[in-house]
Chains A and B, each alone.
Chain A
């Protein structure tokens, strides 16, 4: 299994540009999520999905859109990039048990908005 993969690894955008961060997992996990991590801080949840066709907002959703058309993929869209969105973005996935679970994280995408 490749686990959770993210592309690109690095990206530089100009203010106002749009782009999509890709996330894929091959473990047939129902749950997928996006986090952002600013320097020296913990991760903050942006959006999450509990299955294909179902998405919901996390702690910091403004400026980001998501969709989940397949179980495997969960892309994150920045519609009009702003310097405040400069961050490292992590995608994660897991099963949806009714008890404890392990969440698998991707390697991250490092985004700089100038």
Chain B
């Protein structure tokens, strides 16, 4: 079973920041928080991951609370092409036999 809880859906206005929350209250010390998205039945696309510190890349920012029990993915300037299902996943390193477990995700609808 997925170790995360996400809202089923969210709306965002085009050009505004999209803030997607995720709860992972049972996260372990060596588990990372990953975000993937899936646009219209395409293969999932990696967005970002983090362990303790906040992370930023060209696509998004990941804010992890100090107790690591929740996180927020931020798309700074959402466009219509960001409409997708966003998956928040908690998992340890693959090298130690861990796996990605996908839940239902959050459907983000970006509207003009």
Residues on A lying within 8 angstroms of B by beta carbon are 4, 31, 33, 35, 41-45, 48, 50, 58-59, 88, 90, 92, 94, 96-108
**B44, A98: Cβ atoms closer than 8 Å:** no
Residues A45 and B93 in contact, CB atoms below 8 Å apart: no
Interface residues of B in 22-61 (CB under 8 A from A): 32, 34, 36, 41-46, 49-51
Known contacts A96-B94, A98-B93: A107-B43 contact under CB 8 Å: yes
- For residue A45, give the distance in angstroms from its CB to the closest CB of chain B: 6
Q: With a CB–CB cut-off of 8 A, which chain A residues contact B49?
A: 100-102
Contact A41 B104 (CB under 8 A): yes
How many residues of chain B are within 8 Å of chain A by beta carbon? 25
Return the CB mask of B12-26 against A: 1 if under 8 Å, else 0: 000000000000000
Contact at A88–B41, with CB atoms within 8 Å?
A: yes
Of the listed residues A90, A96, A100, A108, the one surrounded by the most CB atoms of chain B closer than 10 A to its CB is A100
Given pairs A42-B105, A105-B45, 10 additional interface contacts (CB within 8 A): A90-B43, A92-B43, A94-B94, A97-B95, A98-B93, A101-B93, A103-B46, A105-B44, A108-B42, A108-B43
